[in-house]
Amino acid sequence: MAETLLRAEGLGKTFSSAGRLFGKSDPGVRAVDDVSFEIARGETLAVVGESGCGKSTLGRLLLRLIEPTSGTVHLDGVNVTELSRRDMRAVRANAQIIFQDPYGSLSPRRRVGEIVGEPFEVFEPSLNRTQRRDKVATLLEQVGLSSAIMDKFPRQFSGGQRQRIGIARAIALNPSFIVADEPVSALDVSVQAQIVNLLQDLQEERGFSYFFVAHDLAVVRHFADRVMVMYLGRVVEIGPKRAIYDTPHHPYTQALLSAAPQPDPHRKTQRIVLKGDVPSPRRIPPGCHFHTRCPLAQDICRVERPPLRSIGDAHQAACHFAVPNPIPLSS
């Protein structure tokens, strides 16, 4: 069994408001609610779900870019949620992020060489200018760019090229863990596959673990080892990629997959249409968060939160009625 690199336990985040909402006290927004999981060394765990389900917030909690309201994160055996700001500095070298927006994540006032070389300035100050430029040149070539672009500005490049620059910056210190926050969603379809293949190649060469935030289920099917499905801040299903795609147990997972284009034209998929809108994260339903839209909901779902329970080898679902024979998606 692969060594555990990252472990999150009971992780939660509530964004509070100091005022009142329509004359009532504002309960705040529960963006992440009691989330626990592990990521093995060299593994890609993809997290999927509708917009606003807490995917990106969870990724930032893992890196302590935002502070958790509850829970802990252990990275390489170190409880990073207890570290001081000074001690977190060493963790930053081992845990990085690739942002969704290749246009907004790079400073327009700095040249490419400065952007990619910044981690060396911070963590390897003993390097002289020539040594730093040599390292930057190597990184740019590893992500498919020419070292000749070091003195240019980000505005001179396409979205795909900017994202490659961001990736070069993220891998500069050879971290063991990377949060990839929808790294291809802002790119043209023709470029997305190139970036995903680059991330895979780098992982094979360097052994990164990825927490891969995505909404494109086709990209996840190609890239992930395991898949975690979130709804309103909670994990509703998690397991090996094949188990999630072939035998989804949670009704929400089934609905997501039924709406995704099928790569096999001979497989006929029955579309599952969910009724109603996603509840406001300020007024989350009691019990199972999904019960207001769930076709299987019964009285127990309205009052009792279903725990994640095992339904197979490393496959778990949080549903009172998850069974070994899920609702069929094909006919």
Name the residue among 166, 176, 174, 139 with its Cα closest to residue 63.
Answer: 176
What pLDDT is attached to residue 261? 65
Residue 229: φ, ψ to 5° = -105, 130
What pLDDT is attached to residue 190? 86
Question: Could you tell me the maximum CA-CA distance found in the chain, to the nearest angstrom?
Answer: 68
Reading the block at residue 208, the tokens are: 């990164």
Fold of 4-13+28-224: Rossmann fold (3.40.50)
Name the residue among 6, 12, 1, 10 with its Cα closest to residue 233.
Answer: 12
**What is the 8-class DSSP label of residue 256?**
H
What pLDDT is attached to residue 189? 87
Pairing of strands 20-21, 4-15: unpaired
Cα 282 from Cα 322, distance rounded (Å): 27
Burial 280-319 (b: 16+ CB within 10 A, else e): ebeebeebbbbbbbbeebeeebeeeebebeebeeebbbbb
**What is the 8-class DSSP label of residue 53?**
S
- How close are the terminal C-alpha atoms of the chain, in Å? 37
Q: Map out the domains of the chain as residue ranges.
A: 4-13+28-224, 251-262+269-330
Residue with tokens 């917030």: 57
What is the mean pLDDT, run by run of 10 residues, along the chain of 331 residues?
91 80 68 96 96 94 96 96 91 94 91 96 94 97 97 95 97 97 90 95 96 92 95 96 92 87 59 80 90 92 94 91 56 38
Q: Is 4 helix (H, G, I), strand (E, B) or coil?
A: strand
Could you give the angle at which helices 112-123 and 159-171 cross, rounded to 10 degrees? 10
Does the model's pTM come out above 0.75?
Answer: yes
Pairing of strands 44-48, 226-231: parallel
Cα 267 from Cα 273, distance rounded (Å): 18
pLDDT tens, position by position, 128-170: 999 999 999 999 999 999 999 999 999 999 999 999 999 999 9
Adjacency order of strands within the sheet including 309-312: 95-98, 177-181, 209-213, 44-48, 226-231, 234-240, 315-317, 309-312
pLDDT tens, position by position, 99-114: 998 888 999 999 999 9
What pLDDT is attached to residue 328? 47
Burial 7-38 (b: 16+ CB within 10 A, else e): ebbebbbbeeeeeeeeeeeeebbbbbbbbebb
Cα 179 from Cα 95, distance rounded (Å): 8
Cα 129 from Cα 97, distance rounded (Å): 25
Reading the block at residue 288, the tokens are: 């199972």
Cα 186 from Cα 100, distance rounded (Å): 7
What pLDDT is attached to residue 312? 81
What pLDDT is attached to residue 55? 96
What pLDDT is attached to residue 186? 86
What pLDDT is attached to residue 266? 55
Cα 13 from Cα 166, distance rounded (Å): 27
